[in-house]
Structure 1
Amino acid sequence: MFHPGESHFTTRKARDFSGIDTWVFDLDNTLYPSDARVWPQVDERITLYVMQLYGLDGISARALQKYFYHRYGTTLKALMVEDRVDPHDFLDFAHDIDHSTIKLDEALGAAIERLPGRKLILTNGSRRHAERVADKLGILDHFEDVFDIAAADFVPKPERVTYERFLDRHGVDPQRSALFEDISRNLVVPHDLGMATVLVVPPIPDPFRERFEQEAVQEPHIDHITSDLAGFLQTCVLADAATKTG
């Protein structure tokens, strides 16, 4: 069982990382820590967009935004369905944030660089947002490409078709790949497709996110849990890979 204060947990039936040659990472709340304050800014911008679109006060817009999120999976999908909002306009607005709070993460960069094989980002956000954040973290050059929400034809995770499009677009064999994600439900389909799954949770609860989004749930579709991504890559993934190849 994953206990508070622990950094890593591996289930008894977890897939190990032998044979993995493609490493796939979600972006938001996975590749950066909560103190980077990236997501709270994006979340606030989404609320502001809803306020302006519907002429609502902040509290009402926030409530509508969360209703959309729970019903459709993302606010963007809801706005496209309900009001035919231009997704590019929405994404440009939502991701117009201050990036100065993001710190260079040398440990994470070193760990990702050492991973054997390909590295890709799979995000419900935009390519521009992913590239700007990854660049500030100092890890952008380690990734081959970004598969964003536009590449997914604006169908967000956890929809199965999104993962299938990603795998097809990049020629990824799910049996030889691992996915790192911060939301448990986004790992159900990848696990079903054969990917090794890693749930990344914050070391302490993030008040800007909903509880279900950051719970260290132990379900059959989750192989590993970590609250320290760089440390997990160094001590678990790379050590495991070295053992299997050495």
Structure 2
Amino acid sequence: MTLKNSIQSWVFDLDNTLYPSSSNLFAQVDVRMRSFISDFLKLDEDQARKVQKQYFHDHGTTLRGLMTNHNIDPAPYLDYVHDIDVTPVPPSPELADVLAALPGQKYIFTNASTKHAERVMDRLGIANQFSGIFDIQDAAYRPKPEPEIYDTFISKFNVDPTTAIMVEDMARNLKPAADLGMSCLWVDTPSDWARLGSDEEYVHYRTDNLVNWLKATL
């Protein structure tokens, strides 16, 4: 049986996975995170950056650190940090075509917000290709790769992990998916942080061109 015929659910990360990492949307998000922290905690820019990065490393996301240490309301934070220009993402008719040709259901599984995901998907021209989005709110604001949220994703969409594939640019985020029985595809980017875990057995497939890889499965 070919991979295409064995997969019933295609689970895609969003940022730097469905669009090129060279679009560098996170650079904009990074600036807005620092600005939010500076205003909220009354810190100068350098202090805010230190808090931002420390919370990211300690808690998996800066948001989680802010919630844990300062009990912030996540909604205004997410609205603020994702209020960015998405035009650096190039529309991708090729991606839209190959997604349309894939059998089964397609989902977004992201540490970002649904609003951000929808804006990026609209920019790419793929908004009508997906059956659902699982965002950071669905995950109770716990980030990948916390294993429990993968179970929540599966329950929400009634996905059989043994007939699913997860596609990610952050290699370590694939481990919980593989542990559940999913096939796992890593999208290689220039980021050293994203490569952590890329040599592990839970990375079953790898590519530096998602569209071409998906075409090859058809």
Q: TM-score, normalised by structure 2?
A: 0.95
1:183 aligned residue:
170
Q: Secondary structure at the match of 1:133?
A: helix
Q: Shift of residue 109 of structure 1?
A: 1.1
Return the offset for 1:177. 0.3
Question: How far did 1:134 drift?
Answer: 0.6
Q: Give the equivalent residue in structure 1 for 2:210.
A: 229
The answer to whether the Cα contact below 8 Å between 1:23 and 1:177 also exists between their aligned partners in 2 is yes
Q: Please, which of 204, 212, 220 is the counterpart of residue 193 of structure 2? A: 212
| Letter of the structure 1 residue corresponding to residue 215 of structure 2 | Q
* 1:111 aligned partner, one-letter code: V
2:62 to 72, 75, 78: 75
- Deviation by residue 1:104-142 (Cα, 9 ceiling, x = unmatched): 111111111111010000011100100110110011110
SS at match of 1:23: strand
Is residue 145–residue 176 contact of structure 2 (8 Å, CA) maintained in 1?
yes
Q: Answer yes or no: is the 8 Å Cα contact 1:197–1:221 preserved in 2.
A: yes
Report deviation, 1:18. 3.9
Measured in 1, the distance between the counterparts of 2:160 and 2:105 equals 12
Question: Which of 20, 24, 27 is residue 11 of structure 2 equivalent to?
Answer: 24
The answer to whether structure 1 residue 84 and structure 2 residue 79 are counterparts is no
**Shift in alpha-carbon separation, 1:214–1:106, aligned structure 2, 3 A:** farther
Q: Which residue of 2 aligns with 1:153?
A: 140
Give the C-alpha shift of residue 16 in structure 1. 4.2
Equivalent residue number for residue 244 of structure 1? none
**Segment drifting more, 99-108 vs 222-231:** 99-108
Task: Give 1:216 shift.
Answer: 7.7
Please give the alpha-carbon distance, in whole angstroms, between the structure 1 residues aligned to 2:120 and 2:195.
20
Q: Which has the higher helix share?
A: 2
| Equivalent residue, structure 2, for 1:120 | 107
Distance in 2 between residues matched to 1:185 and 1:17, nearest whole Å: 24
1:25-51 deviation per Cα after TM superposition (whole angstroms, max 9, x unaligned):
001111111232312111211111111
Q: Secondary structure at the match of 1:113?
A: helix
Q: Which residue of 1 aligns with 2:47?
A: 60
Q: In structure 2, how many angstroms separate the alpha carbons of the residues matched to 1:64 and 1:191?
A: 32
Contact 2:107–2:130 (CA under 8 A) maintained in structure 1: yes
The code of the aligned residue for 1:175 comes to: T
CA RMSD of aligned residues (A): 1.5
Aligned to 1:129: 116
Ranked by relative contact order (alpha carbons within 8 Å, sequence separation 6 or more), the top structure is: 1
Q: Out of 99-108 and 23-32, give the one that drifted further.
A: 99-108
Question: Matched residues in 2 for 1:24 and 1:98: separation?
Answer: 25
Segments of 5+ residues of structure 1 without an aligned counterpart are: 1-14, 239-246
CA contact (8 A) 1:22 1:119 kept: yes
TM-score by length of 1: 0.84
Residue 81 to residue 170, structure 1, CA distance change in 2 (3 Å) = same
Asked whether the 8 Å contact 1:191–1:197 carries over to 2, the reply is yes
Preserved contact between residue 64 and residue 141 of structure 2 (Cα < 8 Å): yes
Question: What percentage of aligned pairs have identical amino acids?
Answer: 40
State the secondary structure of the residue aligned to 1:30: coil
Counterpart residue type for residue 24 of structure 2: R
The correspondence of residues 157-176 of structure 1 with structure 2, limited to 5 A, is: 157-176=144-163
CA distance in 2, matches of 1:75, 1:179: 24
Distance in 2, matches of 1:137 and 1:229, equals 14
